[in-house]
Structure 1
Amino acid sequence: MFSFSWPSIGRVVLIGILAYISLIVLLRITGKRTLTKLNAFDLVVTVAIGSTLATILLNQKVSIFQGVTALATLVFLQFIFAWSSIRSAFINRLIKAEPKLLFYQGRFFEQEMEKERIQRIEVFQAVRNQGLASMDMVEAVILETDGSMSILKKTRNDSHDTLENVKGFDSPS
């Protein structure tokens, strides 16, 4: 447990540098989508990449080539699923959550909030974070696919273009 050897320390440093550079190259090749705010699918991939990187660094039985292949496989799969989700509504629904309406025009959607395990106090906190002192100033609160809440302030204009794909919103038209 407390053993120390320069060769094992050197291996961790060398493998760490090589694995890190490989991961950066792979992430740059696959584009910004891999590094955006995380939905549940992206979070799982990110955790898997972190676990793989730790295994590469600390397990002497895993070669740098095996490790980079594992990282490349995870990044490639994430890229393929993200690419496929853009082109297929079925795959998109399979791997991503829908945005949900939590509050609209003075009314909380309690059933949706319960399904998503969101309390009113959390909605109030999100509204306060936007600098709003009253729910009377809020048109809508949406739980986004990445778990964040978007707050739409009331306006004089009745257009609701951004609510088009939000579950629970029925267009007035």
Structure 2
Amino acid sequence: MNEYLEIILRSLAVYAFMLIAIRLTGKKELSQLNTTDVVLILLISNAVQNAMVGTNTSLAGGLIAAAVLFALNYLLKKLMFKSTWFRNLISQQPEILIHNGNLDFTKLSRLGITNDELQEAMREHGVEHYKDVKLGILEVDGNISIISGDEQLRHTKYLRKRKHKSLGNLN
């Protein structure tokens, strides 16, 4: 087999594996990276590099692997935009964590969201007590949105602590 075709196929396989692995580990992990998450990402990238390029350490081999990853990512984004079925397969749905001050402990436990993380999100939105939360949602990007029942708080503009990559710099 042509060594560059092998790099293309290996890169496709690694991309598919990483997509499935990230999908299975949950959306909470996407936006809330801590030190161990960064170390894990660095080690995974190093581990899968050889799986993509094999023994080819040439510039062309690396560029082909990178081009395949960019192209595949572009195609998946286009497919997700055009196909609701495919978007639902790849993406996760928002999860309601708090409704009218009532916490869904089963969902919080399943998603691995701690009390401290939930309280941090509430403080970021200017809410002190669970009973004041009309709706708390784990968004698909991993952020927790809080909607307060307080009229004064609802009309106050809060910026996200962790900006979504597509929003750019809001300041």
Q: TM-score, normalised by structure 2?
A: 0.54
The letter of the residue matching 1:142 is I
Alignment partner, residue 149 of structure 1: 144
- 1:106 corresponds to 2:101: yes
Deviation at 1:102, TM superposition (A): 0.3
Cross-structure match for 1:138: 133
1:92 corresponding residue in structure 2? 87
Structure 1 segment 6-155 matched on structure 2, within 5 A = 40=22, 50-51=45-46, 61-154=56-149
Is the contact between residue 101 and residue 132 of structure 2 (CA under 8 Å) also seen in structure 1?
A: no
Kindly state the Cα deviation for residue 131 of structure 1 after the two structures are TM-superposed.
2.5
- Secondary structure of the 1:66 match is helix
CA–CA distance in 2 between the matches of 1:125 and 1:95? 28
Matched residue of 1:68: which SS?
A: helix
- Which structure's relative contact order is higher, taking Cα pairs within 8 Å and 6+ residues apart? 2
Percent of paired sites with the same residue: 24
Q: Report the equivalent of 1:11.
A: none
CA distance in 1, matches of 2:138, 2:108: 9
Counterparts of 2:129 and 2:149 in 1: how far apart (Å)? 11
Counting matched residue pairs gives: 111
Secondary structure, in 3 states, of the residue corresponding to 1:118?
coil
Over alpha carbons, which structure has the higher Rg?
Answer: 1
SS in 2 for 1:73: helix
Per-residue deviation, 1:60: 8.8
Q: Shift of residue 52 of structure 1?
A: 9.0
CA gap of 1:119–1:53, structure 2 versus 1, over 3 A, is closer
Question: Residue by residue, what CA displacement relative to the aligned partner does 1:80-119 show, whole Å, maximum 9, x if unpaired?
Answer: 1111111112211221111100001011112211221113
Structure 2 stretches lacking a partner, 5+ long: 1-21, 31-40, 152-171
Distance 1:86 1:51, change over 3 A: farther
Q: Deviations over 1:130-153 (max 9, x none)?
A: 232222332111111122111112
Divergent runs of 4+, >3 A: 40-43, 47-55
Q: Which runs of 5+ in 1 are unaligned?
A: 1-39, 157-173
Q: How far 1:61 sits from its partner (Å)?
A: 4.2
TM-score (norm 1): 0.54
